[in-house]
Amino acid sequence: MPGLVVGAVLFAALLHASWNAMLKARSDTFLTTVLVAGGGGLLAALALPFVSAPAAASWPFIAASALVQGVYYRLLVATYRSGEMSLAYPLMRGSAPLLVALASRPLIGEALGGMQWLGIGCICGGILVLAGGVHAHGGARRRTVAYALLTACTIATYTMIDGAGVRRSGAPAAYTMWIFLLTAIGFVLWARRGRRGELWPYARANPQLVLLGGVATLGSYGIALWAMTLAPVAAVAALRETSILFATAIAALFLRERIGARKLVAIALVAGGAAVMRLG
């Protein structure tokens, strides 16, 4: 993999971890998430005139993915409201490729190789360590684990949908932009209905969230997509799992979360297992 691509993918991983930290750091996680999603949708709308339209066969997948990603954002809010980023992020991002791999066999007939089974073992071990002792830490930790695993299910679901849909689109960039735009529209309308008098004042007071959040969320995905045109897809996907390590560092340095030895071992297992699964 060329050095430029390695650097770009690492930057994409940092962007992904950063916009998640942005949600966790703000007191109003829901409205912050709306602005981040809205920023991504706005940038996607600006880019759409310059890309080819996706094929008609991919539109049901675009609609389904946008719907699932709306649920994903809502669960993301609940997850970060309930507990620490250093617990939630590894569970969400590490469990998703595990679920995709396990679902691939019955749904599309893809068998798991030895490397993938090794990755599954690492991820499961890391999850058990991360989730261990939840009874001793009360209901808040249990809720965080439950929400994080539910969020991982939505990530795995839209990943499977997009894996099938993008192949039918004939235009991967446009396919992605339409999903970002439709997800943003649905999420903003939902926010207006539930918190009508708060959304626009919050947006006016925090315009940087729209810009920085939009650039981070769309940029992290767009860079990875670009990298996959220049390097093996599995290698790019594996390197992108370093977002788990970036998220841990951000949680410790900026969110002041305590990262003990137990959690570090678990996070290393999850991140390593996810990378091994991608390479397998």
Cα–Cα distance measured from residue 57 to residue 74, given in angstroms and rounded to the nearest whole number: 28
Residue 95's pLDDT is 83
Report the pLDDT value the prediction gives residue 133, as an integer from 0 to 100. 56
**Predicted pLDDT of residue 166:** 87
At residue 3, the pLDDT reads: 81
Report the pLDDT value the prediction gives residue 162, as an integer from 0 to 100: 87
Res 30: pLDDT: 94
> Concatenated DSSP letters for the chain?
--HHHHHHHHHHHHHHHHHHHHHHHSS-HHHHHHHHHHHHHHHHHHHGGGSPPPPGGGHHHHHHHHHHHHHHHHHHHHHHHHS-HHHHHHHHHHHHHHHHHHHHHHHH-PPP-HHHHHHHHHHHHHHHHHHTTGGGGHHHHHHHHHHHHHHHHHHHHHHHHHHHHHHHHS-HHHHHHHHHHHHHHHHHHHHHHHSTTTHHHHHHH-HHHHHHHHHHHHHHHHHHHHHTTTS-HHHHHHHHTTHHHHHHHHHHHTS-----HHHHHHHHHHHHHHHHHHH-
pTM recorded for the entire structure: 0.87
pLDDT tens sequence for the chain (280 residues): 688 888 898 999 999 999 999 999 998 999 999 999 999 999 999 999 999 999 999 999 999 999 999 999 999 999 999 989 988 998 898 888 778 777 766 666 666 677 777 877 887 888 777 766 554 555 667 888 899 999 999 998 988 888 888 889 999 899 999 999 999 999 999 888 878 789 889 999 999 999 999 999 999 988 988 887 787 766 777 788 888 889 999 999 999 998 888 888 888 888 888 777 777 6
